[in-house]
Amino acid sequence: MAPTGARPEDLVKAQVRVAKAMQFDPAHSRRLPLPLLPVARAAKAQSLWAHLAGSQGLQAWQAACAAPALALDFGAAREALAMAEAVATRCMGLQAQWLEGLTELGQEMGELLQTNTVAKYVAQESNLTQQVLALVSSQVAAAAALFENTQLDVAWWLHQRASARG
Amino acid sequence: MGSTATPPQAASLPAYDADLTQCSVSGLSSGAFMTVQLHLAHSAMFAGAGVIAGGPYRGAESFRDASPIAEDAYVQNAYFVCMNPLIAQAGPNPERLAELARQTARDRLIDPLALADQRLYIFTGSADKVVDSKVVHATRRFYELLGVKPANLMFVDDVPAGHAILTTNPEDNPLEANRPPYISRWDRPHMQSWDILRHIYGPKLKPPASHTTGRLLRFDQREFFGGQSRASMSACGYVYVPTAVEQGARCRIHVVLHGCKQGANYVNMINGRADSANSPPYGRRYVTSTGYNEIADANDLVMLYPQVEGRDDGVTQNPEGCWDWWGYSSLDAAHPDYYSKNAIQISALHAMLQRLGGH
């Protein structure tokens, strides 16, 4: 059961918490005061993009350097084909997860759960919305992971191939 | 996520009459990666190891050129080279890693590599989608290259299991599952932990006890890692002590290393926030239901269950409570030490073994 009762002091406590959150807290030295959040979040995003640009730029450069030397290497061609097949299999796996998630959601919506209060109805409908969002989030995260996985594996594979050729 | 902030009511780890040249270790997933690291770091103390779904030593350092930033490179290697490589040739390279291990031994960061008589149990489920079988095949090859005799190496890859340690418990996940708590049941009449210990210590082990009579003790782990946050270790660990050992019998020690999301105080994250209203989801299930204690009871084996907890605080990135096999606990991200005797987690585990052995 969710707690639905309330005390007169609850709002004051919440306001005090907000006020404290506006200031630096020595007990949580890594937690920033609320007014600094916009700048800090922007800095974090900028840092991630810098990391990504570094990684992906380097990996793309390595691939571009190594690829021409492998043009007539039939062993490399065979492994490259196997890698392409593996990527296709992973893509189909993502598609399968998407379909399973949608089917499960559809079946749940079709069960028409009983409700005697407006609050329960709203909660049930919100749950379905959250499940859709969770499904979309997991698909996006899995697709991003597959992209990173593919890029890094190709770069690593090319690096080893190039090293073996001297 | 968990926290060492609240002081636990736990005693110090006790000492017993243990043979510290006959220890062994086993683990699942990140616990399996750490199993390999601990085994190599202190191989003189060990008789063997059990690796369930784990990769070879220092695999996360395979492709340092993946990124100009070392920390990024090691994490990407951990995920994409050491867990789910697209093909075997894009996975960890056992020849390179064996040479790296030899160099690490020459640098005296780990014990000399005299592994010929060590006994290895290595397992990969053919339906594992978390740590691909290709990676575990590389672990087998890695140990072969380091000289483990073929007769001493038991490699199992024909069970259609997902990512899990296998039990006989009806309440555990179905065999092919790849989901927490990563404990699944198979249709055999025994626990996987018994296979591991029988392979390491030989067929003379007595059958597991039907009911345990020893004691499961909670102990304060913090003295072993100095309470440092970067260790990502829980305040408490556990140790199972058979009655005969408590009464003074000579014993051997087996270290049991849980995998990610399996620590006793692990709390799941929902949309990035600890689901503390429903914690802990699994508790001590890995400690009490995987069969280790039953076979320990019958054979005077002390079972040590050290615990890692989730931490994701902007310095230490370990939200799922995994053992460190890519460097998150290192002081210097560019020169990680997670694999050596100096690593904070390996030092802690070694100190626990020394304590149990009365040193």
B255-276 confidence digits (pLDDT tens): 999 999 999 988 888 777 778 7
**Residue B330 vs residue A76, higher pLDDT:** B330
The answer as to whether B66 is a domain residue is yes
**Residue A68 vs residue A140, higher pLDDT:** A140
Where do we find the tokens 């209203």? B277
What end-to-end distance do the CA atoms of chain B give, in Å?
33
Q: Mean pLDDT over all residues of chain A?
A: 83
What ipTM was predicted for this assembly? 0.84
The answer as to whether B1 is a domain residue is no
Q: How far is CA A29 from CA A26, A36, A151, in A?
A: 5, 14, 37
In a mutational test of the A interface, the residue from B3, B89, B315 whose CB has the highest number of chain A CBs within 10 Å is: B89
Asked if B73 has any chain A CB less than 8 Å from its own CB, the reply is yes
Task: Name the least confident of A88-92, A158-162, B144-148.
Answer: A158-162
Please give the structure tokens belonging to residue B151: 């007769």
Q: Are B264 and B235 in contact, with CB atoms under 8 Å apart?
A: no
Q: Is the pLDDT assigned to residue B100 strictly greater than 50?
A: yes
Q: Is the pLDDT assigned to residue B2 strictly greater than 50?
A: no
How close B40 comes to chain A (CA, Å)? Answer: 26
pTM of the entire structure? Answer: 0.88
Q: Are B79 and B328 in contact, with CB atoms under 8 Å apart?
A: no
How close A33 comes to chain B (CA, Å)? Answer: 15
Smallest Cβ–Cβ distance between A30 and the set B72, B87, B313 belongs to B313
Q: Mean pLDDT over all residues of chain B?
A: 94
How many contacts does A have with B, using Cβ atoms within 8 A?
A: 72
Domain coordinates in residue numbering, chain A:
16-26+33-165
The answer as to whether B16 is a domain residue is no
- The angle that helices B94-106 and B30-41 make with each other, rounded to 10 degrees, is 40
Q: How many domains does chain B have?
A: 1
Say whether B315 and A30 touch across the interface (CB within 8 A). yes
Q: What is the per-residue pLDDT for A30?
A: 74
Q: Are B24 and B254 in contact, with CB atoms under 8 Å apart?
A: yes
Please give the structure tokens belonging to residue B171: 């309440």
Q: What is the per-residue pLDDT for A2?
A: 64
Strands B252-257 and B301-305: parallel
- CA-nearest residue of chain A to B76? A152
A129 Cβ contact list (under 8 Å, min separation 6)? none
The answer as to whether B15 is a domain residue is no
Q: pLDDT (tens digit, 9 = 90+) per residue, B171-204?
A: 999 999 999 999 999 999 999 999 999 999 998 8
**Residue A54 vs residue B113, higher pLDDT:** B113
Say whether B63 and A155 touch across the interface (CB within 8 A). yes
Catalytic residues of B: 29, 128, 163
Sequence letter at residue A32: L
Q: What is the per-residue pLDDT for A65?
A: 72
Please give the structure tokens belonging to residue B100: 């790296």
User: Using the 8-state DSSP alphabet, how is residue B338 labeled?
Assistant: T
Q: Are A69 and A164 in contact, with CB atoms under 8 Å apart?
A: no
- CA-nearest residue of chain A to B81? A153
Asked if B66 has any chain A CB less than 8 Å from its own CB, the reply is yes
A139 Cβ contact list (under 8 Å, min separation 6)? A94, A97, A98, A101
Q: CA-CA distance, B8 to B324, in Å (whole number)?
A: 23
- The predicted model gives B21-47 an average pLDDT of 98
Say whether A157 and B90 touch across the interface (CB within 8 A). yes
Sequence letter at residue A40: A
- CA-nearest residue of chain B to A53? B67
User: Using the 8-state DSSP alphabet, how is residue A35 labeled?
Assistant: G
The answer as to whether B130 is a domain residue is yes
Task: Name the least confident of A31-40, B53-62, B138-147.
Answer: A31-40
SS3 label, residue B256: strand
How close B133 comes to chain A (CA, Å)? Answer: 14
Q: Is the pLDDT assigned to residue B96 strictly greater than 90?
A: yes
How close A142 comes to chain B (CA, Å)? Answer: 12
The continuous run of DSSP H or E covering B184 comes out as: strand B183-185
- The predicted model gives B59-63 an average pLDDT of 96
Q: Is the pLDDT assigned to residue A143 strictly greater than 90?
A: yes
Q: What is the per-residue pLDDT for A138?
A: 92
Domain extent for B213: 23-356
Asked if B94 has any chain A CB less than 8 Å from its own CB, the reply is no
Q: Are B280 and B264 in contact, with CB atoms under 8 Å apart?
A: yes
